[in-house]
């Protein structure tokens, strides 16, 4: 397993990863957690891939996280008599609730919540933003629009409504069925699509409870507007640049990405940067220089995890894509300016014992040649706070809880080992040194920092920091 990189890799499974051996190769190449995309595939497909991941986890003796990505509400136009139409700039087009197949003058929009939310002057984007309509008038069951950017529009193409907040739950009936199935399987993370407001997180949380952690996907302008509150409610954030890049001007996406990463780091919440990171590697064995730069920039900005989508799910070079992303991550992390960049964006510490110890860890690892920071954490909370500081040395998280280890697979710089032998402080130190050496993270003569809580085993009591030398 790759232990020489701090930024994690999330890889999507699909037809391109068709066997247990394929999954194992991806994990050995640097994947830390896997995504099951419930926008595609049947439950049986996801169950099979889930089993492969768990088998690989046992074979490699390394916790692997599993994220289920819910499809969310898909907004689409209806069908056309001829299957498609050509819309010209300046022409009128009505969108209504009538299910009759449409033509160049009208088409069904089977979403009354969109019609209710739109006002004259607002815009609709069709087919991933290729076509743009401006609302000229609204009615009880229809809207009239003018085509601003025309082109071909065919059956069931997607609709984006960037300027309105829709009275729409982020969880469709399909999502609820998928969520029940995924939670029964035992997924570690649930990604919630098309979040608009903090209340969406609370709605999903009621269904999930403590059975999985919740990751909010930021892909709507309203979600960007309410970013702070959404990030406070969620366990992690995904910068979902696909739909986000449709609903906001493309030139705004880099700044929004930076803002999301900074917000998450201040809150100590993991952040995933996703979509088209190595898109050309779907069909080519090497990426473009622009893609390499995009990946490198996300690493330099302080992201916890980078995601591969179609590159590993349906591309021709899934293993090569993971290997390339791993190489880019290591190249940036080994650069002379990487740590300095992270230190510039260091978040303000809170007045807690955990944050005080985490800040001390960062300072000590910058002064002494610390090989590894060993942190015992049953819940993972203190490990998250330590990772928030982005210390120079990697973090070895010791926990008796396999679920905690899997959920921390998304967190920057953290490698988890499940161990239930720890009972008292002296044993913590000796066991920590033993495991650090066994994991190849420290050797004789190295300095190791160890944090734990006294009384031992009580969550939320991390209050001890020891500096040890591996003899």
* Catalytic pick among 12, 17, 263, 275: 275
State both tokens at 53: 């991941």
CB atoms closer than 10 angstroms to residue 455: 9
Handedness of CA 314, 319, 320, 323 (dihedral sign): positive
The span from the CA of 451 to the CA of 463, in Å, is 7
Known active-site residue 275: yes
Label residues 208-247 b or e (16+ Cβ within 10 Å = b): beeebbbbbbbbbbbbbebbeebbebbbbbbbbbebbbbb
* Catalytic pick among 54, 74, 76, 176: 76
Q: At what angle do helices 381-388 and 353-367 cross, to 10 degrees?
A: 50
The SS3 assignment for 159 reads: strand
The span from the CA of 25 to the CA of 397, in Å, is 24
Terminal Cα-to-Cα distance of the chain (whole angstroms): 25
Per-residue DSSP letter, 140: S
Phi and psi (nearest 5°) for 146? -115, 135
Known active-site residue 346: no
E strands present in 31-122: 33-37, 65-69, 84-87, 92-96, 106-108
* Catalytic pick among 5, 6, 8, 217: 217
Going by C-alpha positions, the residue among 267, 268, 271 that lies closest to residue 256 is 271
Q: 3-state SS of 362-422? A: HHHHHHCCEEEEEEECCCCHHHHHHHHCCCCCCEEEEECCHHHHHHHHHCCCEEEEECCCC
* Catalytic pick among 6, 35, 132, 220: 35
How many residues comprise the chain?
A: 471
Query: CB under 8 Å to 26, separation ≥6 — which residues?
Result: 11, 17, 34, 312, 318, 319, 322
Q: What angle do CA 226, 67, 10 make, to 5 degrees?
A: 90
Going by C-alpha positions, the residue among 120, 122, 219 that lies closest to residue 163 is 122
Label residues 5-44 b or e (16+ Cβ within 10 Å = b): bbbbbbbbbbebbeebebbbbbbbbbbbbbbbbbeebeee
CA 396 vs CA 134, 230, 451: distances in Å: 54, 29, 10
Known active-site residue 130: no
Residue reference for tokens 């992270």 = 342
- Residues annotated as part of the active site: 35, 76, 217, 275
């Amino acid at each position: 397993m790759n232990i020489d990189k701090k930024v994690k890799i999330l890889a999507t499974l699909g037809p391109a990863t068709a066997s247990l051996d394929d999954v194992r190769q991806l994990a050995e190449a640097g994947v830390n957690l896997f995504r099951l995309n419930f926008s595609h595939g049947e439950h049986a497909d996801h169950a099979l891939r889930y089993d492969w991941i768990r088998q690989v986890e046992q074979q490699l003796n390394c916790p692997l996280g599993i994220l289920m990505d819910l499809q969310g509400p898909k907004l689409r136009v209806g069908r056309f008599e001829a299957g498609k139409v050509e819309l010209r700039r300046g022409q009128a087009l009505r969108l209504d609730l009538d299910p009759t197949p449409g033509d160049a003058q009208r088409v069904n929009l089977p979403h009354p919540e969109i019609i209710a939310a739109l006002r004259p002057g607002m815009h609709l984007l069709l087919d991933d933003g290729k076509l743009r309509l401006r609302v000229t008038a609204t009615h009880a069951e229809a809207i009239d629009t003018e085509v601003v950017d025309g082109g071909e529009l065919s059956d069931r193409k997607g609709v984006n409504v960037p300027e309105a907040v829709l009275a729409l739950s982020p969880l469709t009936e399909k999502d609820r069925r998928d969520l029940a199935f995924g939670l029964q399987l035992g997924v570690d993370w649930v990604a919630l699509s098309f979040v608009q407001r903090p209340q969406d997180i609370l709605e999903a949380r009621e269904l999930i409870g403590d059975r999985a952690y919740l990751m909010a996907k930021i892909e709507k302008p309203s979600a960007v507007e309410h970013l702070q509150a959404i990030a406070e409610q969620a366990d992690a954030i995904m910068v979902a640049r696909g739909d986000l890049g449709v609903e906001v001007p493309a030139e705004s996406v880099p700044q929004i990405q930076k803002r999301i990463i900074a917000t998450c780091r201040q809150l100590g919440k993991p952040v995933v940067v996703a979509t088209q990171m190595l898109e050309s590697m779907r069909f080519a064995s090497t990426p473009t220089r622009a893609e390499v730069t995009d990946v490198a920039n996300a690493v330099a900005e302080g992201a916890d995890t980078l995601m591969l989508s179609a590159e590993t799910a349906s591309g021709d070079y899934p293993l090569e894509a993971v290997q390339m992303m791993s190489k880019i991550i290591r190249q940036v992390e080994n650069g002379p300016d990487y740590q300095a960049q992270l230190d510039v964006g260091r978040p303000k510490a809170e007045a807690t014992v955990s944050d005080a110890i985490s800040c001390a860890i960062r300072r000590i690892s910058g002064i002494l040649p610390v090989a590894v920071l060993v942190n015992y954490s049953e819940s993972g909370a203190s490990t998250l706070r330590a990772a928030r500081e982005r210390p120079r040395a990697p973090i070895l998280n010791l926990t008796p809880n396999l679920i905690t280890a899997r959920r921390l697979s998304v967190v920057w710089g953290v490698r988890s080992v499940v161990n239930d032998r720890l009972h008292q402080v002296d044993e913590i130190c000796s066991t920590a040194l033993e495991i650090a050496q066994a994991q190849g993270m420290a050797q004789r003569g190295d300095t190791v920092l160890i944090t734990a809580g006294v009384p031992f085993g009580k969550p939320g009591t991390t209050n001890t920091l020891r500096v040890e030398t591996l003899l």
